[in-house]
């Protein structure tokens, strides 16, 4: 099956929701941005052996690819809208792989309200190398740089599950019942889209946690030119122990955000509305250090800050 | 040098022209689309060993990557505007490589009026794997499907130079003086942006020639549900002989377009204005076959239709 047949069979049907995708048969997509909306654009790759084990399933590749990009849209408070896909797979890839991969894209499109509008497809090498570019919409994005001294600091969901899953995902440990939910989180992280949308006008700054909480929070502080005090005992960790692994391991795809104290009731309401736990874990401060305090209010230092590509 | 230092040193400076790129330090870019414009989006990869020789220079990788995407914008009559870059290079890549690669991106940005607004960067493996996503603007795109029976068929520039360059680029032949201009075309194709823009309101359909004239023209005919008669003696070929190689080899990045006969004077004016040769090579017809006629008006058949990925 050549490139054009592959696109026509597996990918053109995924573009049906957007006339401007021309069934993936034109040189480019032509999209009309709805009035009053800012276009939010992000792109990330998923490469076998780097972001996922080489032998991950086609469905796992599809989910991780879209969800790590969707998480970036969530952090901007953007509504997911359209996407492009660059597919590079070995020439020996099976029809079954393509069928399962595109079926999961279809399922994720419906779940997140997105439509495929373009891309390219090549074969070669022995590795799977995927890139997605996600387009989202928002009247006004939530930025990393908007935090103010005195703002509360919050995190969604729980932190550390994906990091705890990693040795199981890599085959270094045999999964038991306790590891299964961590593995689910690792392979199919939950982008916090609904929280991001609800935080418009409430959050002063936000970032998604992809490279570990410590490192990503440091980015938010740097962008806002602030420091912070973070209380580790308040942190919604996946389990007791292994604090450093959980706080510096990657792949959480939770949101870290800041908001003025006057918004505490709104945030309680957002948590109730979305069914996502939102935990206050610290506060932004007018100095340049980021301090993580333990149960005895002693600062904790991390050997590794987080995942680096 | 880690991912963040690499981005800050080599790529953040390329985003200076767009405030909504946040110096590549936020989760995504936030772009305001000018009123009355349709967003045109295209994405294509350039992979060492597939689209370029593995040992091509960093400047050659940068040029080919941007220009093959820009050619798609040209075919839609879109003005190049913004782009994203996914960089995947071996961990052993040198500072010098990154410096030369980003310097050429900078040069191309100025030449084509584009600005880097996002992307990602990973290291691993032994191959260079690049993806660019180009955003362009137009009040109304020129589509593949707009051709009408009786329309004239045109092609820009010359056809076949990149195909003739291929054995030299791959090191199968030693380049002589005659091969150098073909090699220049292969490594740095000239996207016909100015022609695409000038064709707004004149061309009824357009496509860029990336996989060989025969194959890409077949796509245009199929999209417009028409056939055509093409006169090979009228074709602006790179040289005499080797007709099949020149018409079915890839990488020309010229434009094929159609226009009603009433627009002939406009098209002569566009050629004069842009300094790009535009040659009338045939006409669209109300039947489904595409016929290539030789000097004796005999139909020519091609063993291979063109490059397939």
Q: What is the residue-wise DSSP string for A133-201?
A: EEEEEESS---GGG--TT-EEEEES-BSHHHHHHHHHTTSS---TTHHHHHHHHHS----HHHHHHTTT
Diameter of chain B measured on Cα atoms: 63
Q: Are residues A112 and A184 part of one domain? A: no
Chain A residues in contact with B73 (beta carbon < 8 A): 27-28
Q: Are residues B287 and B148 part of one domain? A: yes
Mean pLDDT (whole number) for B93-110: 98
Within a domain: A182: yes
Phi, psi of A205, rounded to the nearest 5 degrees: -160, 155
At A216-260, the pLDDT tens digits run 999 999 999 999 999 999 999 998 778 999 999 989 999 999 999
Rounded Cα–Cα distance for residues A158 and A182 (Å): 11
**CB proximity B293 to A under 8 Å:** no
Rounded Cα–Cα distance for residues B271 and B279 (Å): 9
Q: Are residues B123 and B26 part of one domain? A: yes
Within a domain: B54: yes
A26 and B76: CB-CB below 8 Å?
Answer: yes
Q: Are residues B183 and B131 part of one domain? A: no
Mean pLDDT (whole number) for A282-302: 91
**CB proximity A27 to B under 8 Å:** yes
Q: Are residues A209 and A105 part of one domain? A: no
Mean pLDDT (whole number) for B210-218: 93
B127 and A131: CB-CB below 8 Å?
Answer: no
Q: Are residues B67 and B34 part of one domain? A: yes
ipTM: 0.95
Total domain count for chain B?
2
Within a domain: A225: yes
- Of these ranges, A155-159, B1-5, B289-293, the one predicted with the greatest mean pLDDT is A155-159
Q: Are residues B150 and B115 part of one domain? A: no
Tell me the H-state helices in chain A. 3-6, 58-75, 95-112, 161-169, 179-187, 193-198, 213-224, 243-248, 264-274
* Boundary of a domain, candidates B138, B157, B186: B138
Q: Are residues A149 and A133 part of one domain? A: no
Q: Are residues B202 and B219 part of one domain? A: yes
Mean pLDDT (whole number) for B81-109: 97
Q: Are residues A227 and A88 part of one domain? A: no
Residue B29 pLDDT greater than 90, yes or no: yes
Report pLDDT for A309: 45
User: pTM for the complete prediction?
Assistant: 0.96
Q: Are residues B278 and B259 part of one domain? A: yes
Q: What CATH number is given to the structural domain containing A35?
A: 3.30.1330.10
Give the minimum alpha-carbon distance from A292 to chain B in angstroms, rounded to a whole number. 22
Chosen from B26, B120, B225 to mutate, greatest number of chain A CBs within 10 A: B26
Within a domain: A121: yes
At B223-265, the pLDDT tens digits run 999 999 999 999 999 987 789 999 999 899 999 999 999 999 9
Residue B194 pLDDT greater than 80, yes or no: yes
Q: Are residues A32 and A150 part of one domain? A: no
Between positions 81 and 110 of A, the ones with CB within 8 A of B are 84, 86, 88
**Which range of residues forms the domain containing residue A100?**
3-138
Give the minimum alpha-carbon distance from B40 to chain A in angstroms, rounded to a whole number. 4
* Boundary of a domain, candidates B85, B118, B138: B138
Report pLDDT for A306: 64
**Mean pLDDT, rounded, of chain B:** 95
B28 and A133: CB-CB below 8 Å?
Answer: no
Give the minimum alpha-carbon distance from B3 to chain A in angstroms, rounded to a whole number. 6
The helix/strand/coil state of A301 is: coil
Within a domain: A307: no
**CB proximity A8 to B under 8 Å:** no
Mean pLDDT (whole number) for A168-185: 93
Pairing of strands A115-123, A29-31: unpaired
């Amino acid at each position: 099956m050549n490139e054009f047949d592959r696109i026509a069979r597996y990918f053109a049907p995924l573009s049906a929701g957007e006339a401007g995708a021309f069934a993936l048969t034109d040189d480019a997509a032509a999209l009309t941005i709805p009035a009053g909306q800012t276009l939010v654009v992000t792109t990330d790759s998923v490469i076998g052996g780097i972001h996922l084990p080489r032998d991950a399933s086609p469905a796992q590749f599809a989910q991780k690819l879209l969800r790590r990009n969707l998480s970036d849209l969530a952090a901007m408070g953007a509504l997911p809208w359209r996407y492009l896909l660059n597919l590079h797979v070995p020439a020996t890839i099976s029809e079954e792989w393509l069928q399962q991969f595109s079926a999961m894209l279809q399922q994720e499109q419906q779940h997140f309200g997105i439509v495929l509008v373009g891309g390219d497809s090549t074969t070669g090498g022995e590795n799977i190398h995927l890139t997605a570019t996600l387009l989202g919409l928002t009247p006004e994005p939530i930025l990393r740089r908007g935090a103010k001294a005195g703002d509360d600091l919050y995190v969604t969901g729980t932190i550390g599950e994906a990091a705890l899953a990693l040795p199981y995902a890599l085959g270094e440990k045999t999964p038991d019942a306790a590891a299964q939910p961590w593995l689910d989180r690792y392979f199919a992280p939950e982008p916090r889209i609904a929280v991001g949308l609800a935080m418009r006008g409430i959050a002063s700054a936000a970032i998604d946690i992809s490279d570990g909480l410590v490192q990503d929070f440091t980015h938010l502080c740097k962008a806002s030119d602030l420091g912070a005090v973070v209380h580790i005992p308040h942190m919604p960790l996946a389990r007791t122990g292994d604090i450093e692994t959980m706080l510096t391991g990657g792949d959480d795809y939770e949101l870290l955000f800041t908001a003025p104290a006057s918004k505490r009731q709104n945030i309680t309401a957002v948590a109730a509305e979305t069914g996502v736990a939102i935990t206050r874990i610290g506060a932004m401060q007018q100095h340049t250090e980021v301090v993580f305090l333990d149960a005895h209010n002693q600062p904790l230092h991390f050997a590794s800050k987080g995942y680096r590509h």
